[in-house]
Amino acid sequence: MKKKLICTVLLALTCYLIFSQEIFSNNKAKYLFIGSIKKDSIKVLANGKIEWIKNENLHQLDKLSTKDFLNKIFSQKLKFEMEGYEPFWNAKIYKNVLFFTDPVTGNEKKYNINYNYNINKVDSGVYFSFSDTSHKIHGYINYIGLENVKNGRICEYNLSEENTLYETFITVDGVIYKGCSVIIK
């Protein structure tokens, strides 16, 4: 009961937080940063393709709002892939559908989801929450921010080969799962 209350409070707070994502340029092209880094490269969306580009000579041009960012990601048929451990779990968000793989049975469950975010502001923080219509699944994705990488901060629950800046928390049937998200094709 206590876990459910904590998760509900966290989700209620995230509904009012701000979400944006950086657009960069290197004088050759515009790139939408999609939240992952490697040693000297960042993962971007450019001309409808996911690419890794060197992070030298980049300057920030703009930011997208939550609505514009999610529309851009999903219009390119990209998805959020989420995973974590203790126990190992994974999920994928395709537009308004979330597929969650039960860590005990290995069965995949499908949920129709809605998003909550502030549509009126653009800021440096990235937060959005989601839930299904039956209220069996709730979660949020939190963007740590490029400015925090200098301090060594990345998603601490990372299982993928890339260093992601998206933390993810999901509650399924009252059980909280912590992990990281990456954007993939």
Structural domains in the chain (count): 1
Both tokens of 4, joined, read 């459910």
The parent domain of residue 15 ranges over: 2-184
Q: What is the pLDDT of residue 125?
A: 53
pLDDT tens for each residue of 46-71:
988 999 998 888 888 888 877 788 88
Identify the residue whose tokens are 């921010």.
Answer: 145
Threshold 0.85, pTM exceeds? no
For the chain, give the mean pLDDT. 80
CA distance 83 to 85: 7
2-6, 104-108, 132-136, 168-172: least confident range:
2-6
DSSP string, 119-166: SS---S-EEEEEEETTSSEEEEEEE--GGGGGGT---TT--SSSEE-E
